[in-house]
Amino acid sequence: MTSKWSRIWLALAVFAWASLFPASLLVFDSSRDLANGLAIAFGLNFPSAGPIVNFSRLFGPFWFYLLSIPFALGAGVKLVVWLIGLLSAAKVWVAWRLGREWGSPTLGLAWAALLLLPGWAMVSTLVPTHVSMVEVFVLLALWFAVRAGRSGGWRDLVLMAITYSLAMHGHPTSVVYAPMLAWLSRRAWWFSPSRLSGALLAFGLPFLPLIVSALVSAATESAAETTTVAGSWSDMWATVWARLLSFPTVAWSWTLQVAELPASVAEDRPGGMWLRAVWLLLGLAAVGGCIRALWLRDGRLLGLIAYVTAAFCVIVLMRDMHGAWMFITLLPIAGLAMVLAIGHLLPARWHAPGSALLAVCSLSAVLWTGQMLKHIEDDGELSLANRIIADVALWADREPPPLPWIRADRQDSIARRLCDQDGLRLHGDLAALLRMSIGVALARQCGPQQQTTLGGAGELAQVGLPAGLLRRMGMPEANLQVDRMGFVALQPTAVVPELGGFPLQLDWLYPVPDPAWWANRSVTTQELEIACPLDEWLLISDLSVGLNLMAFEVSSAEGPRTPDASTMLTSAWRCDGANLHLQVTAFDHRLVDAFRISIQQPSVPSMFAYPATVEASSSSH
């Protein structure tokens, strides 16, 4: 590609990658980040520590304050998520510039194109969190390190330190870049204690609020309150050894499942197989290039491959469970190693057209992925390889229960229609997903004191369920009135009054408790007899989205019943005209939502997600 066409491709690539973010899901982590930014904008809270990672506060609140800026300027959730996408998409431009300076325009284009190709980085687009900024700040740190190493400049050294600190704020796994950055920038700080001290000071600057907070906290604690818990050396080495033994499994699974996320979004559409084929071809070419590099004794490439392998091993040693987001930090140098290896395999005259072809393929794949995400609007749910996201050592469940999905850019629309609807109670998957949003859009649109009740019995109620679930339950298509976010609104025929009733309001604290919380909590069991008239369905939704660790059993006179249809958050049983026995065990029974619906009755206009043209007609429901 010529320089002109490369810049056009870059603009399209940045826009295409950013456009994936509005279709993302607000899980507890992303909602916590947004809630803290909104609380700062409202002046309700000014945190001194950043997001919790593995139940520990490891870095400062830079990310929260960054998110507060658009909220303070009046932006809604939709625009803020768009801005997160643009920040993430900047990785393409930085890789292109760094590749040009480090090698050649061809290398820059190929590197940027490979980082754009949907793969493991899709985790950061489907769930926008602080991890979404890791790649761009890692690449910026590498860029400034290369410039500092060439010129010995003080300014580039400081910028490297600051951007690396921000990469660490994205995720602590970025620590694996410390040796590489120190080596690349050595000319700027070698034999210069003052420059090294200045760089370390610049690195620590974003951590300053956390450091001050920790010092103040330590000063107020008495010696009696301070305890140190440390396991024996034998236990520590046993843990380290077990994690080392898991390295081959994690590496094998992570490598082979690179295209699983975007392919699972496609739900077996032909493009999914095409994307897998592209990744397979690139992988085989990279292996062939590594073999050739070994034959030619290319020390620089072999050293980079060894560094990536060692960094992967360090990340594996950090935890017993290896979430896919932990390895996003490796993607920039892993992509560079892959591009350089493929370049070894291809003749030099093929490098430029090969880079151009890869650029076209990656942009096409992103546009195709964005198009695939639009089918959420039809079904209101998405089948994801969710098990392997939580732990890459696990192979993806080939038939996971669909995850109900409300696009992030629909949150503002829902919230606007909930303002001042104090008597309304929401049920089903809609209520569970709003619980996962921890009231961010509601507070932004209606004010921080606004709250909505999820679950529980009341005079005014609406059930929100994915259209896909109701189709699996056999609801006639003529009865379905699907709204813009793929959900169907129903009026429940009855709500179990003994369960449910949880207020949704802005909460900037991380709702996921640490292991000690689980250990110190007790569960209680309720047993209920529920009338289940013929032609109706009993549904039970988990409003905690897995945090309540609730267990339930539904049985009839014939014995235990298995759900006839389900999503990850809701289970449904077909009624046969007799009573059903429900046994629920949970920490908090307010987060258990049980109700009945009839699929033979037409759905009702949704008062919380329909376009403005039907708001007047829906206000009576």
Query: CA dist 139 to 18, 386, 408, Å?
Result: 17, 28, 27
**Structure confidence by residue, pLDDT tens digits, 320-370:** 778 888 999 999 999 999 999 999 888 888 999 999 999 999 999 999 998
Answer yes or no: is 397 within a domain. Answer: no
Measured in degrees and rounded to the nearest 5, phi and psi for residue 401 equal -60, 140
Q: Residue 616's Cα: distance from chain center in Å?
A: 36
Same domain, 480 and 568: yes
Number of Cα atoms under 13 Å in the Cβ half of residue 473: 28
382 lies in some domain: no
Last residue of a domain, one of 353, 373, 393: 373
Q: Tell me the longest C-alpha to C-alpha distance in the chain.
A: 84
Alpha helices of 59-177 — where are they, by DSSP H? 62-72, 77-102, 105-116, 122-126, 134-151, 154-170
297 sits in the region (left: phi over 0; alpha: psi -120 to 50; else beta) called left
Instruction: Mark whether 409 and 359 lie in a shared domain.
Output: no
Question: Do 334 and 203 share a structural domain?
Answer: yes
Token pair in block for residue 380: 């209101």
Tokens encoding 7: 């810049």
Check residue 613 and give its pLDDT: 34
One domain for residues 274 and 421: no
Would the CA dihedral through 65, 66, 72, 78 be positive or negative? negative
- Backbone torsions φ then ψ of 360, nearest 5 degrees: -65, -45
CA nearest to 242, candidates 322, 161, 171, 153: 322
In a domain, 121, yes or no: yes
DSSP assignment letter at 166: H
Q: Which residues contact 14 (CB under 8 A, 6 or more apart)?
A: 86, 89, 90, 92, 93
Distance between CA 545 and CA 28 in Å, rounded? 9
Find the length of the chain.
Answer: 621
- Residue 2: which H helix or E strand, with range? none
Count the Cβ atoms, other than its own, within 10 Å of residue 524.
Answer: 10
- Whether residue 471 is found in the same domain as residue 363: no
Report angle CA 39, 45, 48 to the nearest 5 degrees: 120
Domain span at 507:
404-618
How many helices (H) and strands (E) the chain has is answered by: 27, 18
493 and 418 assigned to the same domain: yes
Which pLDDT score, from 0 to 100, does residue 60 have?
85
Is 535 contained in some domain?
yes
pTM assigned to the model: 0.90
Q: Which of 326, 357, 373 represents a domain boundary (last residue)?
A: 373
Q: Are residues 492 and 445 in the same domain?
A: yes
Are 262 and 148 part of one and the same domain? yes
CA distances from 231 to 57, 235, 317, 355, 486 (A): 21, 6, 17, 51, 50
Q: Give the whole-angstrom CA distance, residue 68 versus residue 555.
A: 49
Among the listed residues 487, 177, 606, the one whose alpha carbon sits nearest the alpha carbon of residue 160: 177
User: In this structure, is residue 147 part of a structural domain?
Assistant: yes
Q: Within the chain, which residues score under 50 in pLDDT?
A: 222-230, 609-621
Q: Does residue 158 sit in the same domain as residue 45?
A: yes
Q: Are residues 95 and 140 in the same domain?
A: yes
**Residue 394 falls within a domain, yes or no?**
no
Same domain, 365 and 409: no
- Smallest CA-to-CA distance from 588 within 506, 529, 511 is with 511
Last residue of a domain, one of 352, 373, 394: 373
Tokens describing residue 63: 């990310």
- What total of structural domains would you count in the chain? 2
Q: What is the DSSP string of 329-355?
A: GGHHHHHHHHHHHHHHHS-GGGHHHHH
Asked if residue 99 lies in contact with residue 111, where contact means CB atoms within 8 angstroms, the answer is: yes
Q: Tokens 């592209």 belong to which residue?
A: 278
Judge whether 393 lies within some domain.
Answer: no
Q: What angle do CA 277, 283, 288 make, to 5 degrees?
A: 125
Residue 438 vs residues 31, 433, 589, 596: alpha-carbon distances, Å: 6, 9, 18, 26
Domain contains 46:
yes
What DSSP string describes 279-321? HHHHHHHHHHHHHHHHHHT-HHHHHHHHHHHHHHHHHHHH-SS
Report how far apart, in Å, the C-alpha atoms of 327 and of each of 16, 26, 488 are.
23, 21, 37
Q: Which pLDDT value is given to residue 385? A: 62
Q: Are both 587 and 511 inside the same structural domain?
A: yes
